[in-house]
Structure 1
Amino acid sequence: MKFLILTLVSTMITHAAPEEIQDRFEAPDGDALSYLLVRPADSSPDTKLPMVVFLHGSGERGDDLELVKLHGPPKQALEGEGLPFVVLAPQCPAKQWWNSSTVIALTKKIAKEQNIDPDRIHLTGLSMGGFGTWDIIAHAPELFASAVPICGGGDPETAPTIKDLPIWAIHGEDDKVVPAAKTREMEKALRDAGAKRLRTTYYPGVGHDSWTQAYNDPALYAWMMMQSR
């Protein structure tokens, strides 16, 4: 694991600017999502890369894609950290919640257009995006190689459906917005369902913003890149 972390960190040392694409997706059911796509610098379209789908929190909803660059993988990729994967970051419209079917449809479309490795598509999200992550993997567990829900919560009844998916759930112990009990509830349901590939981290003394510490840890991305369908 230490070797993999060092390898990931070494690939993140770069000064070349990544490729940034902004576009809008119209779903067959009439729903729509604007999205940000970030490809690693100098990546070849002929090379099948992994992809991380990132779901933001409620504060980044709207029609300004600059907001999705504030946290997590999009922020790090655009700041030149050289993440070795494509980042797909949709933006949820104002006053709405993540529509799982639309995010799934967008993920499949981008994976095909960008020549993404279908066995290495990963999903992560914070707060509202953490809730979205739990819900989306329950609807399409076969689509993802791993999931990292941060300070969110899900439906314990879905545990049998997602028990075989590698999941790393993260929460701040002192979260007053979304209590850590939400993640513990999912942890118990998954373990009761027989999950063998579940990891959980509870940061002591940390409130709702557990995502900064989580996404700043190279071990998180190293673990994600180790997972494959």
Structure 2
Amino acid sequence: MSGISRRGFLAAAGVLAAGGGAAALVEAGVLPGKERAARALGRCGEMPAPPAVPTGPVQEHTLRLGGESVRAVIGRPPDARPDSRLPVAVLLHGGGGNARTPFDAYAIQNYLADAVAQDTPPFAVASVDHWYRDGLVTDHLLPFLADQGLETGRFGLLGWSMGGDGALRLAAEQRARVAAVVATSPAIDDAKARAYARRLTGIPVWAACGSHDSFADPTERLLASLRDAGEDPEGGIYAGCHDAAFRRKMLPRQLPFLGPHLTGSAD
């Protein structure tokens, strides 16, 4: 059966039997264009305003990699003492993003400050340009963060889209060091979802995707596969699309998940 999976064929048959036409097939995800149709119909949702709270410092640094330099950005919660060795979550941007994206597009410094104000244990967040370069996070960013006074023996991961895939992969590769991993709209397929689920047992996972996002089914598969393996992942499929609005909406759920795992205070 070329061009459509067996599951897609069965879904198509069900939609047609119910009297649906081409538009219904798009909405069901059988035909391409589901997110485009959702956007045209105003179903993706508006960009939420970030919490109106005082934020902690956001500092930009330059890492030297031989004859090259890349940018790293560190955000801390308000009132963090300079000598406090805060744990850290490494942020992995999506395709076309950079180290500033989590701060400029997603306002993560506002959501971090708000989460800590509501009793999430404090932690820092850090990002780097071109995180996907081999060894950049483990061999360069993490030692630099340790030099900046952050605790990196165990760290968290949070990634969006391509960075969601990267967060899951890095967590699987660095099992002993990863306290928790969050993947938003991860750019994965069903095969990767199953493979990651096998390798992420024992690591707290929070994964989510928009209902109109083409990566919703693999994300659901990841969560189901983890549950089949006896794990208890958090997250799910929520209304939304593959965009910054959805990613901002998830932060108030994700940062309170990360904090207790990073600080060892999770139940």
Quickly name the TM-score band, shorter chain normalised: 0.7 to 0.9
Give the letter for the 1:35 counterpart. Answer: A
Which of 86, 95, 98 matches 1:58?
95
Which of 43, 66, 69 matches 2:80?
43
Structure 1 residue 71 corresponds to structure 2 residue 108: no
Q: Which runs of 5+ in 2 are unaligned?
A: 1-50, 117-121
Distance 1:43 1:157 in 2: 38
Q: Which runs of 5+ in 1 are unaligned?
A: 1-11
Structure 1 residue 180 corresponds to structure 2 residue 198: no
Give the letter for the 1:125 counterpart. Answer: G
Structure 1 residue 21 corresponds to structure 2 residue 56: no
Distance 1:199 1:43 in 2: 28
Counterparts in 2 of 1:172 and 1:77: CA distance versus 1, 3 Å: closer
1:1-229 equivalent positions in 2, closer than 5 A? 15=54, 18-27=56-65, 33-61=70-98, 66-72=100-106, 74-76=108-110, 81=114, 83=116, 84-92=122-130, 98-99=132-133, 101-118=135-152, 121-154=155-188, 155=192, 156-176=194-214, 179-192=215-228, 194-204=229-239, 206-209=240-243, 210-215=246-251, 217=252, 219-228=253-262
Q: Give, in angstroms, the shift of residue 68 of structure 1.
A: 4.4
Q: Give, in angstroms, the shift of residue 164 of structure 1.
A: 0.7
Q: Give, in angstroms, the shift of residue 148 of structure 1.
A: 0.6
Give the letter for the 1:199 counterpart. Answer: E
Counterparts in 2 of 1:117 and 1:32: CA distance versus 1, 3 Å: same
Distance 1:82 1:222 in 2: 6
Quick check: 1:41–1:82 contact (8 Å CA) kept in 2?
Answer: no
Give the letter for the 2:242 counterpart. Answer: H
Counterparts in 2 of 1:170 and 1:42: CA distance versus 1, 3 Å: same
Give the letter for the 1:202 counterpart. Answer: I
The structure that has the greater radius of gyration is 2
Distance 2:75 2:68 in 1: 23
Distance 2:170 2:133 in 1: 9
Distance 2:105 2:176 in 1: 27
Distance 1:44 1:112 in 2: 15
Percent sequence identity is 22
Query: CA RMSD, aligned part only?
Result: 3.0
Counterparts in 2 of 1:24 and 1:182: CA distance versus 1, 3 Å: farther
Quick check: 1:151–1:171 contact (8 Å CA) kept in 2?
Answer: yes
How many equivalent residue pairs?
A: 202
Quick check: 1:171–1:201 contact (8 Å CA) kept in 2?
Answer: yes
Counterparts in 2 of 1:77 and 1:196: CA distance versus 1, 3 Å: closer
Distance 1:77 1:22 in 2: 19
Choose between structure 1 and 2: higher strand proportion.
1
